[in-house]
Chain A
Amino acid sequence: MEKEIVLKRLSKEFKHVKAVKDLSFDIQQGELFGLLGPNGAGKTTTVRMLCGLLAPSSGTATYGSLDIRTDLREIKSRIGVCPQEAAVIKFLSGKENIELMGKLHGLEKHLIKERTEMMLEESGFNEAARRKTKGYSGGMLRQLNLMMALISDPDIIFLDEPTVGMDARARRRTWSYIADLKTQGKTIVLTTHYIEEAQSLSDRVGIIDYGELIALGSPESLMRQYQAKDLESVFLTITGRRIAEGS
């Protein structure tokens, strides 16, 4: 498999606190890579650097020949980001929010129209999408959040805690949607602190604690290596803490 993203000693420091320390690993093309770790471990900071929202303090990451320090514009045209918070414009309708993201990615009008209608149709969101997002429920906002990330049909998709705050049913529906995306050959980077999510969806998992990569591999290989029944036990074996306890 070809390497899609390569992290080279990627670090981020905030006012003398090292949030991310020398991360070096790669993400393969077409794989679903899970970044697992407790709250505050440095997952979101890593993703924000990979998306160009934060400049690294040292080290870098490359997308093929493109470097996040110098080629952000080109990198941004290849990625779709679904942030943790429902980042939508309240006075626009759901449909307008999706279309705006298409326009900002420089898509042709007809493409925007086709893709928007297709996504809304598939998600059964057609009716609600014409209303202003101000009155949307949390679940609707999360769904819209994801569609806004996908309108540009990106090669690489970042999903930052996509199911946080969802009930069990909505979470399973989202997992199935993510699994679908994987079958389309997309490279997906998923950050989560839910063990089950990382374990069932990811091809490979990078476990981060206190900004450091403490384990890397497929869920099965990690469980085998640490003789653990799940990834939670893997984390417990390495750190002596549970993921839910936090950093």
Chain B
Amino acid sequence: MKTQISKLNALVFVELKKLIRDPMNLAVMLLMPVGLAFIFYLALGNVYNDYYPVPGMNHFEYLLPGVMGYSVIYMGMMVALALCEYRKSGVLSRIETTPVSASTYLGSHILANMIIATLQGLIVLLVAWSLGFEPQGGVIGILLVVIFLAILGVTAVGLGLITAAIAKDSGAAAGLSMIFILPMMMFGSLLAVFDETTRTIAKFTPNFYVSESLSLILHQGKISETVIWQNLLISIAISVTIVFIGIKLFSKTAFRTDKSIHSMDSIANGRLHFVDHWRASLAILVVLHHISLVYGASLQGYYYVEPPFTSPTAFRDLLVFALLNQGWFMGAFFLIAGYFTPGSFDRKGAGSFLKNKMLRLGIPLLVFYFILGPISFLGYWLMPAELTGITTPLSWASFWETYPDLIGLGPLWFVAMLLIFSLGYALWRSLLKNQSTETKRQVSIPGFLGIAGFILGLAGTSYIWRMVVPLGESVWQFPSLAYLPQYLGFFILGITAFRKDWFRKIPDSMGWIGLILAALAGIILFPYAFSGQMFSLELSESFNNSTGNGHWQSAVYAIWDSTFAVGLSLVFLIFFRRFLNHQNWLGSFLANNSYTVYLIHIPIIVFMTYGMRNIMVGSLLKSVLAAFVIVPVCFLAAAILRKIPGIKKIL
């Protein structure tokens, strides 16, 4: 027994030494909580809402218990990273050859991280106290806080063990960790808890019970409330269950040979299946985005919308979904398009390249412009007259009468813009007299400074551009021309990525960096652009200011969407390369039909959502239901359409 305790001590000290000696650990585990507390104080110290348990507190104080737990949650990822690293370097195997039991070894991780979790939480509290927060509950309250944090630390270790058991390497572990970190951060830490619905969702996250109890203790000094003891029992039960599962899973896989260092050579020469899959997923996202516009997120009218908008929550959620999408996904499309452009030009030469673009982009553009677009606008006649003002019934005569107003680019503005970019590229290559056809692929990977520089450059350009073309302003039928710097920037980035072979060579760890960038941008900068105010049915002034015209909110918004776009593009690139770089029938089916889906999805959405108009459920749920039906129908229709002889040359 004594020997086991001394072994446990030795291992605990190793983990604690790591905290101090490993700069990344020190940054994530100790400096991040301090930084977070400061950022939240600066961003939310002057924001007030009406749903706080104690009147008069600010949003920073309201979120403080959640932030204390939030800093602990990241520990799960650090545990997973450490275990993957130990496994890869053979340290785990080495320890396994000594007479140390698995329970002693894993126990050391639990004990060390309980200590660290408590420290992290208390550091946040100390920072908050130095910024004017007055914790309630006295010494017993603080003791209870320590107990709750320690239990959350155990839960985080359990989640880390599960992640390390599933992940093949530290890169994958970082990505997988986000599956539990993000919901716990959004809901368990009370960041996104505004009403009963979000509160119900929050109850499925382990840290919610800690946040709730810490709030009762630190905000209200209610140390003897029954709910605290209930939460304590729930937290213990959750942490024991998660740790048990984690130990079981990890023990089974802990010493397997690390096969994670997947050979880049295996993807060096073949088709880039991961890019195909990435593009298909973006096409699905476009369909979901347009479904959300039908059920509430549209601010400018749409082919078909479903009234009434009585639920502010649904409106807000769908609008946030649409704004988050808009922040990055079309940029990602341009990135991929840019990536394939130089290769296509090199293979085909200028003449064939242009001919191919006119065929593949020009013809669909014309078909949508003159046929599919006007057909989609039939949705206008299907909407109630009080929304559209159309009193004449639909007839051939009324349709043809309004036809000149119905033709338009619709979502094929992307195709039109891509055609322009492609023509520009061909012109540029012609001016250079094809010099770059001989450019050898250089393997130089963008570093952190390069990425940061690109984000800041893009944000600055976007801010200035939006003084001229604000967000939401449609120019020459381009509904999101405010994003032109991003679209062009990403297209050029794609060309550069091809020349430097970044899609294949960029390390997996960049996915993790991307995820952190996207998460921080989404959580801090996105709401900050609206001065911390959430949307209401009457859009706030700060929302309007964020669209452009030189307002400071517009600058924050530009930094937000630039960071988010770069971050998520990195995440998706690495995720698809890591997990979906192979061919199967479903992947091939989705990839082959994704372009056609993009072209034809609008009329399908219009008529199918009209067909579902009598299903009486909330708009949020209805948009989810519609997505489940419409996405498969779009792909099926695309597959059937591509069976028509000759069509495959275009689609």
- Residues on A close to B: CB < 8 A? 48, 51-54, 73-74, 76-77, 79, 81, 83-92, 96, 100-101, 103-106, 132, 148, 152
In whole Å, how far is B99's beta carbon from the nearest beta carbon of chain A? 4
* Alpha-carbon separation in the docked complex, A54 to B86 (Å): 17
CB contacts (< 8 Å) of A73 on chain B: these are 99, 101
Q: Which single residue of chain A is at the shortest CB-CB distance from B22?
A: A91
* Mask of B84-95 contacts with A, CB within 8 angstroms, 1/0: 001001110111
Cross-interface CB contact of A104 among B10, B22, B90, cutoff 8 Å = B10
* Mask of B4-34 contacts with A, CB within 8 angstroms, 1/0: 0011001100100110011000000000000
In whole Å, how far is A94's beta carbon from the nearest beta carbon of chain B? 14
Contact A87 B21 (CB under 8 A): no
CB contacts (< 8 Å) of B584 on chain A: these are none
Q: Which single residue of chain B is at the shortest CB-CB distance from A106?
A: B3
Contact B99 A106 (CB under 8 A): yes
In whole Å, how far is B106's beta carbon from the nearest beta carbon of chain A? 14
CB contacts (< 8 Å) of A103 on chain B: these are 6-7, 10
* Alpha-carbon separation in the docked complex, A81 to B95 (Å): 10
* Alpha-carbon separation in the docked complex, A74 to B99 (Å): 7
* Alpha-carbon separation in the docked complex, A84 to B97 (Å): 13
Contact A87 B90 (CB under 8 A): yes
* Alpha-carbon separation in the docked complex, A86 to B89 (Å): 7
Residue B392 lies at the interface, judged by CB distance under 8 Å to chain A: no
Contact B99 A87 (CB under 8 A): no
Cross-interface CB contact of A87 among B7, B10, B94, cutoff 8 Å = B94
Contact B99 A105 (CB under 8 A): yes
Cross-interface CB contact of B95 among A90, A96, A104, cutoff 8 Å = A104
* Alpha-carbon separation in the docked complex, A52 to B95 (Å): 11
CB contacts (< 8 Å) of B612 on chain A: these are none
Residue B100 lies at the interface, judged by CB distance under 8 Å to chain A: yes
Other 11 A-B pairs with CB < 8 A, given A73-B101, A91-B21, A104-B100: A53-B93, A53-B96, A53-B255, A76-B99, A83-B94, A88-B89, A88-B91, A92-B14, A100-B14, A103-B6, A106-B6
* Alpha-carbon separation in the docked complex, A88 to B14 (Å): 12
In whole Å, how far is A110's beta carbon from the nearest beta carbon of chain B? 14
Contact A85 B89 (CB under 8 A): yes
13 A-B residue pairs with Cβ-Cβ distance under 8 Å, sorted by A, are A48-B93, A52-B96, A53-B93, A81-B94, A83-B93, A87-B94, A88-B91, A89-B14, A89-B91, A92-B14, A100-B10, A101-B98, A103-B6
* Alpha-carbon separation in the docked complex, A77 to B101 (Å): 12
* Alpha-carbon separation in the docked complex, A126 to B213 (Å): 53
Contact A52 B7 (CB under 8 A): no
In whole Å, how far is B254's beta carbon from the nearest beta carbon of chain A? 10
Q: Which single residue of chain B is at the shortest CB-CB distance from A152?
A: B98
Contact A132 B21 (CB under 8 A): yes
Q: Which single residue of chain A is at the shortest CB-CB distance from B101?
A: A73
Q: Which single residue of chain A is at the shortest CB-CB distance from B9?
A: A103
Most buried by A among B22, B86, B93, B255: B93
- Chain B interface SS verdict (over half): helix
* Alpha-carbon separation in the docked complex, A54 to B94 (Å): 13
In whole Å, how far is A207's beta carbon from the nearest beta carbon of chain B? 24
Contact B90 A83 (CB under 8 A): yes
- The size class of the interface chain B forms with chain A is 20 to 34
Q: Which single residue of chain B is at the shortest CB-CB distance from A87?
A: B90
Contact B98 A76 (CB under 8 A): yes
CB contacts (< 8 Å) of A86 on chain B: these are 89-90
Q: Which single residue of chain A is at the shortest CB-CB distance from B3?
A: A106
Q: Which of B120-179 contact A (CB under 8 A)?
A: none
Q: Which of B62-102 contact A (CB under 8 A)?
A: 86, 89-91, 93-101
* Alpha-carbon separation in the docked complex, A81 to B94 (Å): 7
Q: Which single residue of chain B is at the shortest CB-CB distance from A79?
A: B97
Q: Which single residue of chain B is at the shortest CB-CB distance from A90?
A: B89
In whole Å, how far is A101's beta carbon from the nearest beta carbon of chain B? 7
CB contacts (< 8 Å) of B89 on chain A: these are 85-88, 90
In whole Å, how far is A156's beta carbon from the nearest beta carbon of chain B? 11
* Alpha-carbon separation in the docked complex, A86 to B90 (Å): 7
* Alpha-carbon separation in the docked complex, A91 to B23 (Å): 10
In whole Å, how far is A93's beta carbon from the nearest beta carbon of chain B? 10
* Alpha-carbon separation in the docked complex, A106 to B99 (Å): 8
Q: Which of B490-523 contact A (CB under 8 A)?
A: none
In whole Å, how far is A218's beta carbon from the nearest beta carbon of chain B? 28
In whole Å, how far is A100's beta carbon from the nearest beta carbon of chain B? 6
CB contacts (< 8 Å) of A101 on chain B: these are 94, 98
CB contacts (< 8 Å) of A52 on chain B: these are 96-97
Cross-interface CB contact of B91 among A51, A54, A87, cutoff 8 Å = A87
In whole Å, how far is B11's beta carbon from the nearest beta carbon of chain A? 8
CB contacts (< 8 Å) of A104 on chain B: these are 7, 10-11, 95, 98-100
Contact B97 A81 (CB under 8 A): yes
In whole Å, how far is A19's beta carbon from the nearest beta carbon of chain B? 11
* Alpha-carbon separation in the docked complex, A52 to B100 (Å): 12
CB contacts (< 8 Å) of A74 on chain B: these are 99
Contact A91 B17 (CB under 8 A): yes
In whole Å, how far is B258's beta carbon from the nearest beta carbon of chain A? 10
* Alpha-carbon separation in the docked complex, A91 to B91 (Å): 12
Q: Which single residue of chain A is at the shortest CB-CB distance from B6?
A: A103
* Alpha-carbon separation in the docked complex, A52 to B255 (Å): 11
CB contacts (< 8 Å) of B10 on chain A: these are 100, 103-104
* Alpha-carbon separation in the docked complex, A148 to B14 (Å): 16
A89-B14, A132-B21 are contacts. A51–B90 as well, Cβ < 8 Å?
no
* Alpha-carbon separation in the docked complex, A90 to B10 (Å): 16
* Alpha-carbon separation in the docked complex, A148 to B89 (Å): 15
In whole Å, how far is B104's beta carbon from the nearest beta carbon of chain A? 9
* Mask of B441-460 contacts with A, CB within 8 angstroms, 1/0: 00000000000000000000
* Alpha-carbon separation in the docked complex, A103 to B89 (Å): 20
* Alpha-carbon separation in the docked complex, A243 to B452 (Å): 51
* Alpha-carbon separation in the docked complex, A48 to B100 (Å): 16
**6 cross-chain pairs, A with B, having the tightest CB-CB distances, nearest first:** A87-B90, A103-B10, A104-B98, A87-B94, A81-B97, A91-B21
CB contacts (< 8 Å) of A132 on chain B: these are 21
CB contacts (< 8 Å) of B90 on chain A: these are 83-87
* Alpha-carbon separation in the docked complex, A235 to B427 (Å): 65
In whole Å, how far is A191's beta carbon from the nearest beta carbon of chain B? 14
Q: Which single residue of chain A is at the shortest CB-CB distance from B10?
A: A103
Contact B255 A77 (CB under 8 A): no
Q: Which single residue of chain B is at the shortest CB-CB distance from A44?
A: B257
* Alpha-carbon separation in the docked complex, A103 to B104 (Å): 13
CB contacts (< 8 Å) of B17 on chain A: these are 91-92, 96
* Alpha-carbon separation in the docked complex, A85 to B92 (Å): 12
Q: Which single residue of chain A is at the shortest CB-CB distance from B96?
A: A53
In whole Å, how far is A144's beta carbon from the nearest beta carbon of chain B? 12
Contact B93 A77 (CB under 8 A): no
In whole Å, how far is B607's beta carbon from the nearest beta carbon of chain A? 50
Q: Which single residue of chain B is at the shortest CB-CB distance from A91?
A: B21
* Alpha-carbon separation in the docked complex, A132 to B18 (Å): 12
CB contacts (< 8 Å) of A100 on chain B: these are 10, 14
CB contacts (< 8 Å) of B96 on chain A: these are 52-53
CB contacts (< 8 Å) of B101 on chain A: these are 73
Q: Which of B530-577 contact A (CB under 8 A)?
A: none
CB contacts (< 8 Å) of A106 on chain B: these are 3, 6-7, 99
* Alpha-carbon separation in the docked complex, A148 to B18 (Å): 19
Cross-interface CB contact of A148 among B7, B94, B99, B255, cutoff 8 Å = B94
CB contacts (< 8 Å) of A88 on chain B: these are 89, 91
CB contacts (< 8 Å) of A51 on chain B: these are 97
Q: Which single residue of chain B is at the shortest CB-CB distance from A54?
A: B255
CB contacts (< 8 Å) of A87 on chain B: these are 89-91, 93-94
* Alpha-carbon separation in the docked complex, A148 to B255 (Å): 19
Most buried by A among B93, B95, B99: B99
CB contacts (< 8 Å) of A79 on chain B: these are 97
* Alpha-carbon separation in the docked complex, A23 to B10 (Å): 38
Q: Which single residue of chain B is at the shortest CB-CB distance from A77?
A: B99
In whole Å, how far is A84's beta carbon from the nearest beta carbon of chain B? 8
In whole Å, how far is B84's beta carbon from the nearest beta carbon of chain A? 14
CB contacts (< 8 Å) of B86 on chain A: these are 89
In whole Å, how far is A12's beta carbon from the nearest beta carbon of chain B? 13
In whole Å, how far is B551's beta carbon from the nearest beta carbon of chain A? 47
